[in-house]
Amino acid sequence: VRTVSLRASALNIFAPHSTRSIEMSAILARAPCKITQTSRRGYTTRTTAAVAPPPLAARRSGSALAQRSSFAASKIGSSFVQTTRTHAPMRSSRMCVEASGDWVLMVNDVAGKMGTAVVEAAQAKGIKIAPYCLTGPKRDPITIGDVTVELFDTSFDRDEVMQRIKKEFPKLMVIDYTVPQCVNLNAELYIKHGIPFVMGTTGGDRDKLLADVKDAGLFAVIAPQMGKQVVAFQAAMKIMGDRFPGAFKGYTLKVTESHQSSKVDTSGTAKAIVASFKDMGIEFEESQIELVRDPKEQVERMHVPEEHLLGHAYHTYELTSPDGLVSFKFEHNVCGRSIYAQGTVDAALCLMSKIDSGSEQTLFNMIEVLESGDMR
């Protein structure tokens, strides 16, 4: 019995996404063999019983997902090593899947609900989490999954803290979900220490934020909306505004957005969609956006499930023709935080990939993250 070891890491070839019969070289002859499939990076490990090579006709028939094998066999003692490549379109998202490598994510602030959700989403993708974070009021360490995070409050010297963490984790990246008043201060800290980051926190002086990061040449993803599917909708509306100016001229617009009562500012997503409608000829000001923050009204009028009153984002855009005979209605309703956490982690993975590949562009938004590859 000979053992054939299939390793995903060999020759930098990605493992196939499904287990299938593999065309064996004549070098293995027709003797029964034991097939062992292994991987270093989370692919399923499977060992089959001793089998005989399939008939030539069966080996040539392939499957619904056509696969060709790049065969590289070398005798090592009494075993062989074979690698297979699935010839599918290779886009940068493929790199994002394996991008984490030696990278470590520091999430500011894990004491918040978004921070916790991001850590859980990152752990689900096998990304290492730094056991430290910056926070506001003094708090005890927090355990999320398999990591206990030490929180450094405002009594600590932030520069010393970041120097210490950067020394321990040279390939450090920060995900920021703090508060609006800390956006610019935190960004200045990351710039000072050369730490790439994903800014999910809304608010702050956005023009200054973008200018500071661009001038510093620091790698970053900055976006007020991290939910990939919502961003895709937002991008589609922008394309409509750019390509069809005046398409809705004369129409009236009503915008209603509902968020948890703790959110006092107007949704950045609603503002962006309104800007696209204005490009399509509608006269409307951001101040006309209706904010629903009363829990009773959210349940009765907006139909928000009670269990999600503390974490939801409901948006409705209604357009009506001048004569009232034609109407359009767009809605995107989100309960919970998983859509934002997953999108944020994907943004971090793609940023890691951009850095590792030596990208000339350093500053990205979420639309560019989506354009870089498949949404997973």
At 142, list the tokens.
């927090």
Both tokens of 329, joined, read 């209605």
What are the C-alpha distances in Å from 301 to residues 2, 255, 270, 317, 355?
Answer: 68, 14, 19, 15, 46
Q: Are 139 and 110 in contact (CB under 8 A)?
A: no
**φ, ψ dihedrals at 257, nearest 5°:** -135, 135
Q: Is 259 a catalytic residue?
A: yes
With CA atoms as reference, report the closest residue to 110 among 137, 143, 138.
143
By the 8 A CB rule, do 333 and 158 touch?
no
Residue 242 tokens read as 């750019």
Bridging pattern class, strands 79-82 and 104-108 = unpaired
- Catalytic pick from 125, 166, 263, 278? 263
55: phi then psi, degrees, rounded to nearest 5: -60, 155
Active site residue 263: yes
Contact yes or no for 60/53 (Cβ under 8 A) = no
Torsion over CA: 238, 244, 249, 252 (sign): negative
Cα separation, 41 vs 38, whole angstroms: 9
Which backbone phi and psi does 366 adopt, to 5 degrees? -70, -30
Q: 259, 308, 315, 354: which is the annotated catalytic residue?
A: 259
Which amino acids are annotated catalytic? 259, 263
